[in-house]
Amino acid sequence: MSLISNLINGLERPTAGSEETARNVMDMCKKISADNALFVGDELFTPALIQKTTGAKVSACFTEKNRAERAEAKGFSASVVMPFEIPSGENGWDFVWYNGTTSLEGSARLLEAVYDSLKSKGKAVFRTLCWLIDPSPDTKCYVERRFGRPEALDSVLRCAKEQGFKVLDFYIAPKTDWTHGLYEPLKNAMQQLDGEREDGEESGISELNKEIYMFELHSEEYSFVYYILEK
């Protein structure tokens, strides 16, 4: 594993987010009656919050083995899944929280999978990276190369409704989820690598610095959006 991969894996969360955002989104879900719940993501605070708030038994799924192992050490039923996989629960889930980024196929297939995995009247949180406004050409080019293909906020809303979901609300992740939640810990971790970098690592560090620079310039154009949905 490269030094850069070790750096990312060592972070509490490898994508933008915060405990405050998780709490706000959970509050927007209102009262949830749940025996079981599914979390698919990359950090441990949210599944713990779901368990505390709903009382449900939470299955926590990650695409990285080391994060699943951390979840197991915290007492969760944890497993490793493929990217964009929504595991099905026995007789369906009462609640699903999917912390996604982007998908080349768009959100429609993922929303369908979430819908199919839920029990009747079940609720879901669906996170994806969205354009908040029409992006400038340089932002669009860079973000699509770095993250994939974000969809417009309204486009995901339409997809959810077409799938049959009732859209209860949505929450746009604030700028601080990126700056305080991701980039400041990332900068601190990169500083610790000074003097330890191997040949070829400089390009990876430069790419991370460019990502931070681009966000500082164009943060009003894109962010994660959390959609609160009901089947």
Q: What is the pLDDT along the chain (231 residues), one digit of tens a residue?
A: 466 677 777 888 999 999 999 999 999 999 898 999 999 999 999 999 999 999 999 999 999 999 999 999 988 999 999 999 999 988 999 999 999 999 888 899 999 999 999 999 999 999 999 999 999 999 999 999 999 999 999 999 999 999 999 999 999 999 999 999 999 999 888 887 665 555 556 677 888 889 999 999 999 999 999 999 999
Tokens of 189: 């971790």
Are 230 and 165 in contact, with CB atoms under 8 Å apart?
A: yes
Residue 178 CB-half CA count within 13 A? 20
Tokens of 230: 């009901």
- Cα dihedral angle (198, 200, 203, 208), rounded to 10 degrees? -40
Per-residue confidence (pLDDT) for residue 190, from 0 to 100: 82
Tokens of 175: 């700028």
Stated length of the chain: 231
Per-residue confidence (pLDDT) for residue 199, from 0 to 100: 54
Per-residue confidence (pLDDT) for residue 195, from 0 to 100: 56
Measured between alpha carbons, how far is 38 from 35 in angstroms, rounded to an integer?
11
Pairing of strands 166-172, 151-152: unpaired
Tokens 């038994």 sit on residue: 57
Tokens of 214: 């681009």
